[in-house]
Amino acid sequence: MRTALLLVAITALIDAAAVPATANPDDLFMIKNITDPYIQGLGKWLVTEHTKMGGNDGLEFQKVLSGEYQIRNGVSYRLVIVAMRPGGSHGTYKGWLLEEVPSNQNTWKLINFSPLD
């Protein structure tokens, strides 16, 4: 059931972007509904995964500000994320993940996570 819901979310995201039939597979498309809970969940996962992989900087996910996606061997998401640092200041980060199909958190791969400021 959960996998089916994720596939529906991906399909809705792709349909909402209205990708032209002549699109280049290297094209990036803006995520139109950045407040979608699925997109926010991807951002939260990126921050959590960054921490698990040794980014012991105490970041806490706040929200996804913007993002792009690319359809190629799954869906590649490039997100701009706000996270709170220890001490209460906020930082902006860019995160990149690959979501393979069928989609679930076991098929998500962190490609990059780095500060923008």
Domains of the chain are 2-115 (3.10.450.10)
Distance CA 30, CA 68 (A): 4
What is the average per-residue pLDDT within 37-43?
A: 97
pLDDT at 34: 97
- Cα distance between residue 43 and residue 46, in whole Å: 5
Q: What are phi and psi of 47, to 5 degrees?
A: -65, -45
Q: Give the separation between CA 51 and CA 49, rounded to whole angstroms.
A: 5
pLDDT at 86 over 80: yes
Question: According to the model, what pLDDT value does residue 12 have?
Answer: 45
Q: What's the average model confidence in pLDDT over 53-72? A: 92
What's the pLDDT score for residue 103? 67
pLDDT band at 1 (very low <50, low <70, confident <90, very high): very low
The mean per-residue pLDDT over the stretch 23-51 comes to 91
